[in-house]
Amino acid sequence: MGVEVKVEGLTKSFGRQTIWRDVTLTLPAGEVSVLLGPSGTGKSVFLKSIIGLLRPERGTCVINGTDVCSCSERELYEIRKLLGVLFQDGALFGSMDIYDNVAFPLREHTRKSESEIRRIVGEKMELVGLTGAEHKLPGEISGGMRKRAGLARALVLDPEIILCDEPDSGLDPVRTAYLSQLLIDLNAQLDATILIVTHNINVARTVPDNLGMLFRRELVMFGPREVLLTSDEPVVAQFLGGRRVGPIGMSEEKDQATMDRERAHAEAGHMDAELAEDVRGVPPQLEPTAGLPERMAVRRRKDRVMRMLSSLPAGARQSVLASLTDADRHRYGLTAPLPQRPAPVTSVHGSLHEVARTPRDLGAAFTRRPWGGRR
């Protein structure tokens, strides 16, 4: 199983520009997480901080007992063997063919023979669906293929943590859907911890187990996907809805007067065209392709989320409970039927109303048992 990444109180600045401050989150071992955020909020900087390419001024990022923010170069070298990174543009060497690009980390970090390297490269190329493209140069293949080649290279050292910086950037929606499926399939096959940094809403809604968002130099939230997807935070609702009305402006954030003006405009019935699309709620999560193993993360996450259920906001809690199968309900000792709830209603400015606001009665819908054991 992949390893946990525990980030605490992380703050990163460049000169006098604070990128984000006091970021605290844990990427649960073997689960898939997505970090969202408008352009320029420091998602890539966050990813580079996790791999020790950038050193934040404050806070810690602990992987396998080592704080990558303060460790020695030697320790960092060891930690990096656990990490596979897919950079935004694939970061392939333009003068090497795809085979040599993918083989590069093996030649650089291991003493494997060429025949062993051939076997591993072949295996990873097959995994990402690139068999046959080995002898092409990066400039001779499509953007989607370059991404997949970058992913194959990220996988050759059998990483326990896979970090993907905007795997969807520059891809059409169909290729993005294939890549999303590929990441879920990889998680099923490798049980690695995966962090995807993106601003693609479809990826955020359908791929991860956990979801977080950076905005205004802070982590707005991070937790089980249901929390963010049912959140009534204006910035989250605006971002998920892809609307202009809300705190996010062209240059990242708006002042209060602009927001009030927009809200009045919307409430007077003038709506953005984008509002036609309804992106509320928690859609089903992608499942591994038929024939692949089940994702081990699913059960672990369910157990973890059920342990924290009482601390979740009402909308998230309702969504988690609604997603349980009969077998789950039996496992978690839920006896009473779920109460019927009205569907969430979205106002023109994007906040959620009428989401269940009475966690206590939802809490009464199940009786807790000691966690961990199967019945």
Ligand X SMILES: Nc1ncnc2c1ncn2[C@@H]1O[C@H](COP(=O)(O)OP(=O)(O)OP(=O)(O)O)[C@@H](O)[C@H]1O
CB of 154 to ligand X, least distance (A): 18
Contact flag: residue 86 with ligand X (CB under 6 A): no
Question: Which residue, 58 or 330, has its beta carbon nearer to ligand X?
Answer: 58
Question: Which residue, 117 or 211, has its beta carbon nearer to ligand X?
Answer: 211
Contact flag: residue 37 with ligand X (CB under 6 A): yes
* Look-up of token digits 């352009």: 39
The piece of 41-49, 284-292, 334-342, 346-354 that touches ligand X (CB under 6 A) is 41-49
The piece of 32-40, 75-83, 218-226, 250-258 that touches ligand X (CB under 6 A) is 32-40
Distance of CA 304 to the CA centre of its chain: 17
* Look-up of token digits 């591993």: 120
The residue from 9, 14, 283, 299 that contacts ligand X (CB under 6 A) is 14
The residue from 39, 95, 311, 367 that contacts ligand X (CB under 6 A) is 39
Least Cα distance to 205 among 284, 323, 275, 299 occurs for: 284
Contact flag: residue 44 with ligand X (CB under 6 A): yes
Phi and psi at 48, nearest 5°, equal -65, -25
CA distance 37 to 211: 11
Least Cα distance to 30 among 290, 309, 294 occurs for: 294
- Where does residue 1 rank: exposed (0-12), middle (13-18), buried (19+ CB within 10 A)? middle
x/- mask, ligand X, residues 356-375, rule CB under 6 A, reads --------------------
* Length of the chain measured in residues: 375
Contact flag: residue 319 with ligand X (CB under 6 A): no
Contact flag: residue 41 with ligand X (CB under 6 A): yes
Strands 210-215, 218-224: parallel, antiparallel or unpaired by DSSP?
antiparallel
Contact flag: residue 231 with ligand X (CB under 6 A): no
Contact flag: residue 45 with ligand X (CB under 6 A): yes
Q: Is 33 left (phi over 0), alpha (psi -120 to 50) or beta?
A: beta
- Where does residue 211 rank: exposed (0-12), middle (13-18), buried (19+ CB within 10 A)? buried
The residue from 80, 146, 147, 199 that contacts ligand X (CB under 6 A) is 199
Per-position DSSP letters for 148-211, written without gaps between them: HHHHHHHHTT--SEEEEE-TTTT--HHHHHHHHHHHHHHHHHH--EEEEE---HHHHHHS-SEE
The piece of 35-43, 277-285, 349-357, 365-373 that touches ligand X (CB under 6 A) is 35-43
Question: Which residue, 168 or 233, has its beta carbon nearer to ligand X?
Answer: 168
Encoded tokens for 132:
């046959």
Number of residues counted as binding ligand X (CB under 6 A): 11
Contact flag: residue 242 with ligand X (CB under 6 A): no
Question: Which residue, 251 or 325, has its beta carbon nearer to ligand X?
Answer: 251
The residue from 27, 43, 141, 359 that contacts ligand X (CB under 6 A) is 43
The residue from 40, 242, 293, 339 that contacts ligand X (CB under 6 A) is 40
Name the site residues for ligand X (rule: CB under 6 A): 14, 19, 37, 39-45, 199
